[in-house]
Amino acid sequence: MAIRRIIYSLSFSLLFCALSTMASNEVRDTTTAEKTVNAEDVAKELANPNTTLASLVFKNQFRSYAGDLPGADDQTSAITLFQPILPFPLDSGDQIIFRPAIPFIWDSPSGNNFSSESGIGDISFDLVYAPKSDDEYITAFGIVSTLPTASNDKLGNDKFTLGPDFLYGRVTDKSVLGIHPSHQWDIGGSGDKDISLTSMQIYAARLLGKGWLVGSEPIMTYDWEEKQWEIPVNLIASKTMVIGGRPWKIGAEINYYVERNDDFSPRWMFAVNITPVIENGLVKFFQ
């Protein structure tokens, strides 16, 4: 069953990628329309959290669980997280960046009996203002939110959440370093659970040339209601290449959770990430 879920997840991502890129025009250089797209330059731009390139990120995530509850160590899950990255350039050179995240849950354990659930989870997004940078340092600030869109009550919290989002970092020709803290409170909804959740993503990546990147981008969280940390050790590697005039970024990552809920929580997370660069067709509606 685990192999079947992995095949479903990867097949869905590849099909969606193919359909999306077929519907998009060929990507061209942002400064010179006829200039050949260079994989190394695109890899650097995609590594920048304030990227000017629109893309469709498909994160195929496979988790194994552990905990003190009976049967916890036998549980696994498969999720495809679809995350478009849509920058909207302003006349000043600044940007508005919209990043929704839609989880397609193929199989996830739920409840004390770990019943298998599938469907669409709660959709989250961040919407930030990213000022133009005249040097290596970047900033962005805005909001982060989650909407109660889950197709099954067991796959979401039935809560609207909202909070601040901030980014600070440094991008050079060889490396990307940064921090991305945010916080969400529940502001409505019919769910019973109170939500006060702080997240912090760390960016530490090295560009090796020829489109290769290695590094670590862990996402740490602290649940103020449960007084519980979740901290992974994270490693990532990716290769950016140009196929038929279109840049693609193919990557893998692994997470090992060194701090987590002892009763039941992920112990390992493996992911295969597929990212085609596209034209942001929505830009024309705001010009």
Model confidence pLDDT, tens digit, residues 149-173: 999 889 999 999 999 999 999 999 9
Q: Please tell me the predicted confidence (pLDDT) of residue 2.
A: 54
pLDDT at 111: 77
Q: Are 138 and 175 in contact (CB under 8 A)?
A: no
* Per-residue confidence (pLDDT) for residue 104, from 0 to 100: 96
What is the rounded CA–CA span in Å between residue 72 and residue 226?
A: 19
pLDDT score recorded for residue 14: 56
The pLDDT of residue 28 is 46
**265-278 and 246-259: which strand pairing?**
antiparallel
- Who has greater pLDDT, 160 or 33? 160
What global pTM score does this model have?
Answer: 0.87
The tokens for 61 are 């995530």
**Beta pairing, strands 265-278 & 228-243:** unpaired
pLDDT of residue 32: 38
User: What DSSP letter does each residue of 115-180 carry, written as one string?
Assistant: EEEEEE--EEEEEEEE---SSSEEEEEEEEEEE---SSGGGS---EEEEEEEEEEEE-SSEEEEEE
pLDDT at residue number 235: 98
Quick one: average pLDDT of 121-131? 97
184, containing H or E segment = strand 175-188
Q: Kindly report, residue by residue over 194-242, the tens digit of the pLDDT.
A: 999 999 999 999 999 999 999 999 999 999 999 999 999 999 999 999 9
Residues 53-112: tens digit of each pLDDT: 999 999 999 999 999 999 999 999 999 999 999 999 999 999 999 999 999 999 999 877
Q: Is the pLDDT of residue 52 over 90?
A: yes
Mean pLDDT of the chain: 89
The pLDDT value given to residue 37: 77
Q: All domains of the chain, ordered by start, with CATH?
A: 2-286 (2.40.160.40)
Backbone angles phi, psi at 204, to 5 degrees: -150, 95
**What is the model's pLDDT at position 284?**
76
Residues 6+ apart with CB under 8 A from 253: 217, 234, 235, 236, 237, 269, 270, 271, 273
Tokens read off for 188: 């409505």
**Which residues in 87-117 are b (16+ Cβ under 10 Å) and which e?**
bbbeeeeebbbbbbbbbbbbbbbbeeebeeb
In this prediction, residue 33 carries a pLDDT of 42
CA dihedral 190, 156, 151, 108 (to 10 degrees): -150
- Joined together, the tokens standing for residue 165 give 């989002």
The mean per-residue pLDDT over the stretch 27-32 comes to: 43
**Residue 54: predicted pLDDT:** 96
